[in-house]
Each structure stands twice: as C-alpha cells, then as structure tokens.
Chains A and B, each alone.
Chain A
C-alpha cells in the first residue's frame, strides 16, 4: 500500500465497500416494501428500532456481538471450504455435531481442572464437527457424491442425532425429565471477559479463528495450495497438489470451525444441550455472512457483526412495532445474499480487463475462466497486503 495518496486510499476503500453497501441499501428497500404490505408500521421506524436494537446502545451492541459469534464461526466454515472450491451447506450439521461432542466431554469428563477440561471440551467440539466434514469429503472423493446434497442431508441427520442424545443417552436424570443434557459444569464453561457485559470469551476464540484463517491461507504453504486448488484444480494437480487432499483438509477444517462454534454456543450461552438448541439456522445465515464478507477475514468479522445486529435488532423491532414480524429480518438477510451474489447488477459501467495485447480469443477464454474457476473474483484481503508490505 506504500505510495498511495489519500485520494487513492479513499478510492480503494470505496471500491471495496461499494457492492456491500449497495446490497444492503437494496435489501432494506425491498424489505421496506414487505413491511409496508404486511403491517401498518412505517418501515423506516421499524428499521430505526432494528438499528437501535442492534447498535444503538452498549447493551444492544453487547447482544449483537454475542449473536455474531456463532455466525462468524459458520461463516469461517463456509469460507474455508469455498476457498478450496467446495460449497459447504453443512455448517448447521457440523455445528450441531460439535455441540453434541462438546456436551459429551463437558458432562462426562468431570472432575478435571478448568485448564484441562475447557480446552478438551473445545477440542471435542472441533473434532465432532470435523468428523461430519470429513464424511462429506470422503464421500465426495471416493464416490464423487455432490457435497451440496450430502451436506444438506447431514444437517437433518445431525439434528436427529442431537434429539436422540438429549432424549436418550444424555438425558438429565432428574424429574421431570426434560429432554436436555445435564448442565455443563463450571470447569467447561466460557464466561464473560468484560465485566458487566454478556459477550463471552468465545469472541476471542472466533477472532483467533479469523486470524488463523487469514494466516493459514495466505502465509502457509498448505493454505496457499488450498487456494490454488480452489481456484483451479487442474492447475493444482499440475503443480503436484492433491485435489482430494485439499477437499478433505478443507472440509475437515470447515467442519471443525463450525463444530467449535457449536461447542462455544453450548458452553458459553446455552449451558447444556437441549433439543431446541439448534432451532436457529446458524449454518445458512453463516453463508450469508461469508458472502457479504467476500470470504475475506476482516469482511467476515464486519458482516458477522452486521448480521448479528440485524438478528438482535429484529427482536426490538418486533417488540416495539408490535406488528412487524421478526421474520422480516430473515427476509432482509436473504435479500442481502441475493444482492451480494448478484452484485454485478450494481455495476454502473461494465468493467473490462486491462489487456496489454489485442488477443480477443484469449480474452474470451479469460473472461470465461474468471467466472468458472473463481466465480467470486476475490479481491485480496486488505490486511494481507498491509501485512506483506510491512
């Protein structure tokens, strides 16, 4: 970034932010039409409540951050798989699997000091999720089964497994026998790290995860190879990389990150595994977060906070407007996905490649590859450049 004038920096920032901002505006506009048609409230008043509930006060921002943590985990899960060319729609199932295994370690391996018990619980969450990721990868590598459908099916299977565990083996043996596990002991719980706020240490863990995501993909050879294979598997094979290995490793890590998220959610927020622990779609919202963040580490953090804010704020919107349903927030999140993925519609002028030679045939191929190989032509993360040049 050396030698850039302030104007250039401003332009670069605008370039980065242009599409996300346009997508958010468009989503809010379309969302306001939905509000107009389904309620008597003024959409802008409703949005005002939503904004206030997500970012307006210290306490609402606290809720937003708490909400953002699992979303950032699932977004990381989707992102690392996507970087390797895999579409992981199974973060929900991996999240659930991680929660189950973390709960198991949390409630069965008691009597350990927190310094051992807590890391073990987190590790169990990671492994539980990565096992689910690994199953997907193995079926893809061995049988060529599409990960899209396999991951979705595994989501359902994970939910049923969770139901089985909390009604069967893990059932808390206390009348009146609620379908839930016993409470996880203090030695395996995560608490708040800022007095007076609810946001828990999971935030530090997920930020660590974001940093490792960045560091792994851009600073290590293994991550570099994963990116090569993700953008162009044929070239990866040519350069002596194994696509199968990359698929397995990335889904293993993706599952692990989602599973870690599930573990954190259980030991920091819910305190025990319940049959209704996963009524929320952490997995699919995580995809939206990843996309809005352009699979970029910093982007994931910011979009995670934004989505956390929309979720947290939608509660306040529902409460204060009294007739705008919180599901409008889901509509807005969905619209953000659509407008981000379809961001080309906001392009004012068709951008063309700068080509140094007039070779239209090559150029044609190039354009095709741009969209085939890397359907999201990803700008390099800003922090990478800063880091490298430093």
Chain B
C-alpha cells in the first residue's frame, strides 16, 4: 500500500513540475517590437567550418543590419516544415534555408505563409514569396582546378568531395573544367568520401591520392576538408583551401583558399529584400557578386600564376567563361 502512495506522490510531483514548466513558458511570450526577425535553417552543423559556418556568418552580418536573428542547425528535411512553422509562429519575417534538399518542402510551406519571405540557397525555383540564389560552387571549383593545374609539378591533381550533394558535385565539374582550361593534359583524380563528418576518411583518401602522384589537393567537404588539408601537410605537398581558415591545419601546405564566402550572398539577399528589389529569377552568387574569390596567398607563388588566376576570376565574373554543368 505504501508503494502506491509513493508512486502517487511521485506522479503528483511530475504534474506540479509540468504545470510549472507550462507557466514558465507562458511568461516569455513574444511581443512585436518592429524589428525584422530573420531565421536560418541549416541541414548541417554550424561548427562545420565551411558551408554552414559561413551561412551563420551571413546571418550575423544580417543581425548587424538591425535584424533579430534565429537559427536551427542539424535540421533534417523531415523537420524543416516544423522549423518553418515554429519561426512563423514566432513572428519571423524572413527565412533562409541553406540546402537544396529543402526545396520541395519550402515551396509547400511558403504557400501557407505568404507574409514570410523565403530565401532558398542553391535551389532552382522561385515563387511570389520565394527567392532562390545559387551559390556558384562550380566557379569555386573552376578556380581551384585552374590554380592546381598551374601549380602542379607532377601533372596530377586531386579533388576530394564530401557527401554527394549538389555543391560538391558541381564543384567537381568546375574543378575539372578549370584544370583543363589552363592545361588540357593535366591528370585529375576526383572522388567523394560520402561524408562531411568523416574527417579521417578524407585525410586517408588524400594520402592515397598522393600515392597516385597527386601533388596539389583540393577539398570541398565542409569540415571533412580539414582532413584533406592535414593530409597535404603531412605528405608535404600543396593544398588549396575551400573555406575560411582551413590553412590553420596546414601551415606549410596551404597555398591559398579559394573562398566561397556565402555570408556575402546572405547579406546581399537581405539588403535586396529590405530594398524591395528582388528579381524573380534565380540569383547567381559567384565571382560576379564577390561571393567566390581568391583569398590571400599564404605561400610564395609566381606572380604569373597569380595574374592568370586573377584573369580567370574576372572572366568568370564577366561571364566570359561559362561552366558546363551537364
């Protein structure tokens, strides 16, 4: 009998706690103070030192423009709708969705929330309240490929991608075309590890590439990129970074980073939203918009090579060089 009472007591405690919790959350209800609320929904982790990290940088830049921001990371497609609804309920007016995987869902949800402006990153669709911008990953790959082909002594260069998502695959296509553009005879080895997280796999693959004669490694695999940089450092070859600060793990190997600073794209999109000047078509965000660019060189590189790369960057920006993605 005593046991029953103890259980009853336990359950009462729970109920009291539960009521307390509900009461606690009611006190913090939203109030609209005229500040635009901007949300970012990411499929990966903001700590990936790459794609999502720069997206988050972009969000922070938007915050500096006076917006109130919110973000969710590691959001699978199946949760994206719920995330959108959560933000909508909380009075958010702009929602950035940082992966092409979200496309179908976002279109579906956007219909239900006409008052919210959606920005889809790397999508090919638009609607009344949906704008897409396409990060020109291929241009980044193109610059990497061209530089690698110019730098190589062995005539073999390597591209290591992570999960086979669109940016990575397009980067590979650009890489190949860029390399061939400067040196049609260059040998290209290009593989994906199937994971953005498995850093060690990327590193070992990088080392295996060196075994095949590769002397310039280029990663495009979010945080797994770091493994590739480390491989280059350990094997004493060159590497071209694909994101911010990747050179820190490869102080003697990293030549330069071909930066794809998506934060610029985010900020630009937000400014266009504020200005109300958004064309319906998909906005490319690449060299022309200053999103893709060659960063500062960390190592000594021939001026001639630097010049050639600058030239290619300009041609990409002007549309003189077109990358074939078929």
Which A residues form the contact surface with B (CB < 8 A)? Answer: 11, 14-15, 17-18, 21-22, 24-25, 28, 42, 44-45, 47-49, 51-53, 56-57, 59-60, 63, 66-67, 70, 160, 163, 166-167, 175-180, 183, 198, 265, 269-272, 274-277, 279-280, 311-312, 315-316, 318-320, 322, 325-327, 348-349
State which residues 40-91 of B face A: CB under 8 Å. Answer: 43, 70, 72-79, 81-83, 85-87, 89-90
A18 touches B104 (CB 8 A): no
In the complex, what residue of chain A is closest to B15 when comparing beta carbons?
A21
A276 touches B81 (CB 8 A): no
Chain A contacts for B23, CB-based, 8 A: 48
B79 touches A67 (CB 8 A): yes
B4 touches A11 (CB 8 A): yes
B43 touches A279 (CB 8 A): yes
State whether the Cβ of B316 lies closer than 8 Å to any Cβ in chain A: no
Known A-B contacts A48-B25, A183-B104, A279-B43; A327 and B74 likewise in contact (beta carbons under 8 Å): yes
State whether the Cβ of B204 lies closer than 8 Å to any Cβ in chain A: no
Task: Please report the C-alpha to C-alpha distance between residue A342 and residue B120 in the assembled complex, in whole angstroms.
Answer: 45
Chain B contacts for A160, CB-based, 8 A: 194
Give the B interface residue count (CB, 8 A). 55
In the complex, what residue of chain A is closest to B70 when comparing beta carbons?
A319
Task: Please report the C-alpha to C-alpha distance between residue A131 and residue B132 in the assembled complex, in whole angstroms.
Answer: 40
B27 to chain A, nearest CB (A): 8
A48 touches B22 (CB 8 A): yes
B25 touches A66 (CB 8 A): no
Stretch at the interface among B161-169, B246-254, B272-280, B293-301: B161-169
Chain B contacts for A14, CB-based, 8 A: 4, 7-8, 11
Which B residues form the contact surface with A (CB < 8 A)? Answer: 3-4, 6-8, 10-11, 13-14, 17-18, 20-26, 28, 39, 43, 70, 72-79, 81-83, 85-87, 89-90, 99-101, 103-105, 124, 134, 163-166, 169-170, 194, 325-326
B4 touches A167 (CB 8 A): no
A16 to chain B, nearest CB (A): 10
B86 touches A275 (CB 8 A): no
A177 touches B325 (CB 8 A): yes
Task: Please report the C-alpha to C-alpha distance between residue A14 and residue B11 in the assembled complex, in whole angstroms.
Answer: 9
B50 to chain A, nearest CB (A): 16
B7 touches A175 (CB 8 A): no
Question: Which one of A176, A265, A272, A311 has the greatest number of beta carbons of chain B within 10 Å?
Answer: A176
Partner of B74, one of A44, A45, A167, A326: A326
* Interchain residue pairs with CB less than 8 A apart (8): A70-B78, A160-B194, A175-B326, A177-B166, A270-B78, A312-B79, A315-B72, A319-B39
